[in-house]
Structure 1
Amino acid sequence: MFSTRKNASTADHFRNTVAWITGASSGIGEALAVGLAGSGARLVLSARRESELDRVARRCHQAGSAETDVMVLPLDITDSDSMAGASAKVLERFGQIDLLINNAGVSQRSRCAETDLSVYRKLMDVDVIGQIALTQAVLPHMLERGAGHIAATASVAGKVGVPLRTGYCAAKHAVMGFFDALRAEVEDSGITVSTIVPGFISTPIARHALAGDGQPFNKSDEEISGGMNVDECARVVIAGLARGQREIPVGKGKEMHALWLKRLSPELIFNITRRRK
């Protein structure tokens, strides 16, 4: 049973909860899956690469999940027409969806003048439209039950614009706006909405980012490589979700100061970001 007690321990809160995670084949999504497995959740793992999802499922079993408590559900987040069918499969398997974590995403490393428009379209399709489509597929079930938790992985880039990430920043700003507005619509119906706001987390996101021509960037950023350990990130996020925290900032570097600096002194943050290369 999904615990609604604000003071419940993380393990108590997520025990037997059905948590559906997109982008579960690597990075933050993988770490969240393993962390929730250790908290007794039943899991639905989605991403495009089934072989990687199988690997993550094995890690979840090692963390304590029973074989029957992990569902591998390959999903192309850009295929909006498949969302209703995917949601039906989850409900057929587990009977409910307590927590949806919209974590699938792709980043970018290119200047605007050197970026093909198709790159911007892909960023929006993956990072924004895909999250909206899946949320729309799951939302009626949660509204009918009068309970549920929807989360989305945004970014500090969803609050602050920086060079080489015009499309990524635009997409993550859209994620923040959509899920903040959704919260205002559904919170009184018993549904919690959380935005996850990572700073620099040590994941493969930079290597998988898109260059201006749409090809993989295939390089690691020093800031990303030196960022917060992804398992530590997952622990912070899972604790925030258990508390029903509406916005969950997570990171350890100077970039986290930008979240409050943008509010207190926009002109200062504009001057700082324009000096970034």
Structure 2
Amino acid sequence: MNFKNKIVWITGASSGIGEALVYLLNNEGAKLIISSRRSGALYEVKQKCKKNPLDVHVLPLDLEQTETLASKAENAWKIYGTIDILINAGGISQRGTVLETTPEVEQKIMNINYWGTVNLTKLILPKMLERETGNLVVLSSVVGKFGTAFRSTYSASKHALQGYFDSLRCEVYDKGISVNIICPGFIKTNVTINSVTATGEKYNQMDENQENGMSVMDCAQKILEAIDQNKEEVLIGGKETYGVLIKRFFPKYFSKMIRKRKVV
């Protein structure tokens, strides 16, 4: 796929993988709509874009505020008159045990990671179907394929996205709509620092595995390659991605292995 002049809406664009995708797509000549909760950070990202800043539109949104998403989606569509690719990169991670994590924190994670992504997609999908073309890109995770300690609700939200968008793909495969599910492993971003604890506070620590993970720009490049090749699902990362295969073929061994692994 040639991304030049493609209209791409990216959530979670103020940091991490979403931010890296902004820079790569801007360099490719795409026309961008960038969204996250932090408008100030979005404008900083826009200023760092090397190509035409007029092709980068800032549209702040909070995925947790469901009642605002319809107007945000309408505004996003009006900016360029269409959207070719929606990249759902917004989300939040977790560090807390099942017993200690409050229901309010669990609901917050599901509202942002799952319902925010689902609701935004359902607002854009009908317009894509009218045009009979469009790409829906969803950032899941390797823990969307298996669970680890201290990530129960985060893992659940990613498992839910996997099932939902697999089902959606079955419904729209012959209608010109592509669905690409991206499953990153350890990518060097601030996702662990920004994670929520069992009671909702910011974790404020860098996970060792994240610190030693794949660079965010390398990850973003692989995501664009996956979109270009229209891959239904892709695992991105290091040896941690092999966990998906190990769990599938050697589930008992995987269970023992994952219990021993340092995850906090």
Q: Same fold (TM over 0.5)?
A: yes
1:45 aligns to what?
Answer: 34
Assess if the C-alpha contact under 8 Å between 1:209 and 1:216 holds in 2.
Answer: yes
1:4 aligns to what?
Answer: none
Assess if the C-alpha contact under 8 Å between 1:163 and 1:276 holds in 2.
Answer: no
Unpaired runs of 5+ residues, structure 1, are 1-7
2:237 aligns to what?
Answer: 251
Deviation at 1:67, TM superposition (A): 2.4
Aligned equivalents of 2:24 and 2:234: distance in 1? 16
Amino acid across the alignment from 2:205? K
2:166 aligns to what?
Answer: 180
Aligned equivalents of 1:240 and 1:145: distance in 2? 23
Alignment of 1:151-190 (within 5 A): 151-190=137-176
Aligned equivalents of 1:187 and 1:53: distance in 2? 33
1:58 aligns to what?
Answer: 47
1:131 aligns to what?
Answer: 117
Task: Single out whichever of 260-269 and 118-127 deviates more from structure 2.
Answer: 260-269
Alignment of 1:108-123 (within 5 A): 108-123=94-109
229, 254, 262: which one aligns with 2:247: 262
2:19 aligns to what?
Answer: 30
Q: Secondary structure at the match of 1:14?
A: coil
Assess if the C-alpha contact under 8 Å between 1:104 and 1:127 holds in 2.
Answer: yes
Alignment of 1:203-242 (within 5 A): 203-242=189-228
1:196 aligns to what?
Answer: 182
1:148 aligns to what?
Answer: 134
Deviation at 1:169, TM superposition (A): 0.7
Amino acid across the alignment from 2:129? L
Amino acid across the alignment from 1:42? K
1:67 aligns to what?
Answer: 53
| CA displacement 1:110-145 (0-9 Å, x = unmatched) | 111111111111110010000000001100110000
Deviation at 1:98, TM superposition (A): 0.3
Amino acid across the alignment from 1:47? S
Unpaired runs of 5+ residues, structure 2, are none
State the percentage of identical aligned residues.
40
How many residue pairs match? The answer is 262
Aligned equivalents of 1:81 and 1:111: distance in 2? 30
Deviation at 1:91, TM superposition (A): 2.1
Assess if the C-alpha contact under 8 Å between 1:162 and 1:276 holds in 2.
Answer: no
Q: Which runs of 4+ in 1 moved over 4 A?
A: none
Q: Secondary structure at the match of 2:174?
A: helix
Aligned equivalents of 1:159 and 1:268: distance in 2? 16
Q: Secondary structure at the match of 1:78?
A: coil
